[in-house]
Amino acid sequence: SQQGEEDPQALSIQEGENATMNCSYKTSINNLQWYRQNSGRGLVHLILIRSNEREKHSGRLRVTLDTSKKSSSLLITASRAADTASYFCATAQTNAGKSTFGDGTTLTVKP
Amino acid sequence: GAVVSQHPSWVICKSGTSVKIECRSLDFQATTMFWYRQFPKQSLMLMATSNEGSKATYEQGVEKDKFLINHASLTLSTLTVTSAHPEDSSFYICSARDPVGFGNTIYFGEGSWLTVV
């Protein structure tokens, strides 16, 4: 079964607002990555956070990781219409060595 | 940073033919690579784990004879969809594990779109 679960499944906001997506996972991980996928396109790597890190920033993106709760969040600040896409988290599992994806959050940013 | 390259990005093939997708780690040696499949509007599902020099490990429900995986070198894994049918049309993506450094980081390719007509 898939390792991760994301919520919400769908999120619709106005341009300029912040968007927060959450990812929960089940097993111990080495790192967690967030990806964006525009409709009909491939994956675009956004950010990687390692298991010994708690927070990471990249431009308008802020990622947190709570290994005790086995969860991560992705915050997009001052959203733009171009941020409209599906967002996935992918975990690199410690023991199995696999990396599996969450179900994804579909973000719609209305201009 | 490390890069994983997939080729081709897009491929159209006729029903009944076979098609090969390549996954290369460009600046690191990957003893382990992974193949995923994505159905429309769904998440990516792990199909198999490809180990250099040995047989791939397939996830439950994935047909080994249908999806042939060959990890011939430390930088190349291939996925061959044999006797393709329209229902095999999908987005296929690979990832490769960099064993050097902290946490065995896994890097993903950009994916390959397969359309079987």
In this predicted structure, what is the pLDDT of residue B110?
A: 86
Structure-derived torsion over alpha carbons of residues B51, A99, A3, B103, reported in degrees to the nearest 10:
110
Q: Which residue has the higher pLDDT, B99 or A65?
A: A65
Sort out which chain A residues have CB atoms less than 8 A from B45's CB and list them: 2, 101
Q: Does B91 sit within 8 Å of A51, measured CB to CB?
A: no
User: Which of B34, B43, B93 is facing A102, going by the closest CB pair?
Assistant: B43
Per-residue pLDDT of chain B (117 residues; tens, 9 = 90+): 568 999 999 999 999 999 999 999 998 888 889 999 998 878 889 999 998 888 899 999 999 999 999 998 999 999 999 999 999 999 999 988 887 765 567 788 889 999 999
* Residue A1: predicted pLDDT: 41
User: Does the structure show a pLDDT above 70 at A47?
Assistant: yes
What is the per-residue DSSP string for A13-58? EETTS-EEEEEE-SS-EEEEEEEEE-TTS-EEEEEEEETT-SEEEE
The Cα–Cα gap between B59 and A79 comes to: 38
φ and ψ at residue B87, rounded to 5 degrees: -70, -10
User: Is the model's pLDDT at A97 over the cut of 80?
Assistant: no
CB distance B45 to B34 below 8 Å: no
Residue B29: CB partners within 8 Å, gap ≥ 6?
B74, B75, B99
**Contact between B44 and A51 using a beta-carbon 8 Å cutoff:** no
The residue type at A81: A
